[in-house]
Structure 1
Amino acid sequence: MNKAPSGMQHSMAPFFMSLAFYIGSMIGAMLIVVAYKSFSPLIGRWKAYTYTEIAIILISMIAPLLIVALSKSMLRFDSNTYWQLWVNHSIELFASLNVNLIFSLILGQLGIMINMPFMLTQVVSGAGLIPRPILPDFFKVMCNISPCFYSIRADYNILYGGNNTHTLWLQLLTIGIVAIIIHLAIVAFQKKRTPLVQPS
């Protein structure tokens, strides 16, 4: 469906770009939750969570500008393709940061113990290395909640032709919104913490 030009940089670009953003989101969520847990006793958990989401949105919009620009130097695509890739990876990063934040909110920095295995499933369930029809059943199920799967497919569409890119973006966005709903439930049930340092 998406015949890529010859060369490893073309056939593997969607996989590596999407995986790089996902790995970055895993590390980013771990750092963001440290800030959330530090400020929530001082300014309140809801205000701290609001700032957390604002930070996620800003990171999601700014970070892809540079990463996609680096890819442009290797793949030689035009400006229209650049901006489509920016939209794709902005939505992917938004969804991925929110997904990784779920277990970080519950377990703090120990959330990496769950986020790491989930990231490893993205390598296979993203279907960038092995086509979805021949994946084992477990990974076919994981495709449905894998930000990498939708991002990789959208990248192939944008770079090499294909349909339903907007549908893939909507599915990615849905993953992010569902993750936010889960966050709200977690924040609502968290116990109020005493600040280590009293505000002056």
Structure 2
Amino acid sequence: MPTNTKNLPIVIVNQDNQQISNKVASGLKDNLPFKHLTVSSNLSQTKHRIEVRKASLAVVIPAGFNKDVRAGKQPTLNFVVNNANSMLQTNVNQSLISRVQSTVNAQLTQQSLVGMYAKQLAPKMMKTAMQAGMKTAIKKAMVASKGQAVNQKKIRQQVQAQVQPKIEKQVMAQATKMAAPFNITAKSSTDTMGTKQPNMQHQMAPMFISMGQYLGLMIASVISIMTFMSVRFIGGKWKTFLGLQITGVITAFVLALITIGAMRTLVSFDGSTFNALLWRNSLYDLSVFELTSGLALLGGGLPSLLVQMPLFILQILAGGGTLPRAAMTSFYKFISQNTPMYQNIYNSFNAMAGLGNSGSLDQTLWWIVLAGLVFGGLAVAIGYRGTKRHGLAAVIPAKF
């Protein structure tokens, strides 16, 4: 696994809280390679954390786990995952489920069979050791007392104190050896939040439609700003700027409609999902247009691509389509939190999986729309004061 995936939060939910289940939970915490690994007993709270992506996976040890193992029955181990996430996170969760199962099965063998054999071996081994120890101790005591009576009860206590620790180690070693050839396994079930798609369509589609729309809008915004730079000499810069904004709103909706309509021919989802995707992608397209057009106004159209192309590439890396935010470095986390692509990819994940919790994502997109409008308006107010068309303003001709 990539190193940063160790930052994914994993929760062990121990609903049993008995001797064996506590040892299983402790063993998992010591053996799983994750930094943010906690033990809880509140399943509903944990499910909410997974739904809002504050936890990646939950390992649930249900009530009765200890009882089943003691009775020689096959215990149950449950998992809770959210598949409406990045491809890497989903793959890590699947690998983790397999690892947890093998770790728990090994622990079950230790806890059940070793304990059973230890109970059988301990009395016999202790009796043999005590007999040999008492014989030697009484003989030494008789020599020391020169034939006088000795306190056998006291000698027995001393011998037991010396022999018991050694016998316990021998018993456990022998019991472990006897249990080694046997294999006890736990059956498992997985509660999958969100989509249960049979392939990767629901995970890959949000990333690719977000990338495609962003790239198209970035190019369209640069062309629109170069047109603005020429047309402003005819209608005035503020009237032209208003026309630019109206064009952006119409473009955002039309592009989202075409994109989601095309995606529906490839990926199956119902009408309510279509409406949710259309609304959220329209908002995303508007935020992308405002951001890219604002940068284009600041950069004088075409030269702004020197900034816009690297920003586009950074958003692909920080968009969350392949790598979850928890596994990102601080720089990429910042990019994901303050640019449009991450918000739309996870908004689309939520819509396609029937999950909520998109309010903060929508709020970020609205802030980006506002920031793009402000920067664009400031660029128009401060700059673009020339009265003659020349340079980049003359690339796209506009006639009176």
Q: For residues 74-131 of structure 1, what are the alpha-carbon distances to aligned partners after superposition, in whole Å with 9 as ceiling and x for unaligned?
A: 1111111111111111100100011111221122211111100000011111111101
* AA of the residue aligned to 1:169: D
Matched, 1:48 2:240: yes
Partner residue in 2 for 1:129: 322
Name whichever of 157-166 and 45-54 sits farther off. 157-166
Q: For residues 53-76 of structure 1, what are the alpha-carbon distances to aligned partners after superposition, in whole Å with 9 as ceiling and x for unaligned?
A: 000000011111111011001111
Aligned mates of 2:296, 2:323 — CA distance in 1: 30
% identical aligned pairs: 22
Partner residue in 2 for 1:14: 206
Aligned mates of 1:136, 1:144 — CA distance in 2: 12
Aligned mates of 2:382, 2:297 — CA distance in 1: 11
- On the 8 A contact 1:41/1:192 being kept in 2, the answer is no
* Partner of residue 165 from structure 1, selected from 352, 358, 379: 358
Partner residue in 1 for 2:297: 105
Normalised by the length of structure 2, the TM-score is 0.48
- On the 8 A contact 1:154/1:168 being kept in 2, the answer is yes
* AA of the residue aligned to 1:59: T
Alpha carbons of structure 1 residues 192 and 79: separation in structure 2 relative to 1, 3 Å: same
- On the 8 A contact 1:157/1:165 being kept in 2, the answer is yes
Aligned mates of 1:46, 1:102 — CA distance in 2: 14
Partner residue in 1 for 2:331: 138
Alpha carbons of structure 1 residues 19 and 187: separation in structure 2 relative to 1, 3 Å: same
- On the 8 A contact 2:202/2:349 being kept in 1, the answer is no
The structure where strand makes up a greater share of residues is 2
Alpha carbons of structure 1 residues 73 and 44: separation in structure 2 relative to 1, 3 Å: same
* Partner of residue 181 from structure 1, selected from 367, 370, 374: 374
Deviation at 1:198, TM superposition (A): 9.6
Partner residue in 2 for 1:71: 263
Name whichever of 99-108 and 148-157 sits farther off. 99-108
| Structure of higher CA gyration radius | 2
Alpha carbons of structure 1 residues 18 and 188: separation in structure 2 relative to 1, 3 Å: same
In the alignment, structure 2 segments of 5+ residues that lack a partner are 1-81, 85-193, 390-396
- On the 8 A contact 1:60/1:90 being kept in 2, the answer is yes
- On the 8 A contact 2:257/2:278 being kept in 1, the answer is yes
Matched, 1:28 2:190: no
- On the 8 A contact 2:237/2:380 being kept in 1, the answer is yes
Structure 1 residue ranges (4+ consecutive) displaced by more than 6 angstroms after TM superposition: none
Q: Which has the higher contact order (CA 8 A, sep 6+)?
A: 1
SS in 1 for 2:321: coil
Aligned mates of 2:274, 2:356 — CA distance in 1: 18
Alpha carbons of structure 1 residues 199 and 116: separation in structure 2 relative to 1, 3 Å: closer
In the alignment, structure 1 segments of 5+ residues that lack a partner are none
Name whichever of 166-175 and 97-106 sits farther off. 166-175
Give the root-mean-square deviation of aligned CA atoms.
1.7
- On the 8 A contact 1:125/1:146 being kept in 2, the answer is no
Partner residue in 2 for 1:87: 279
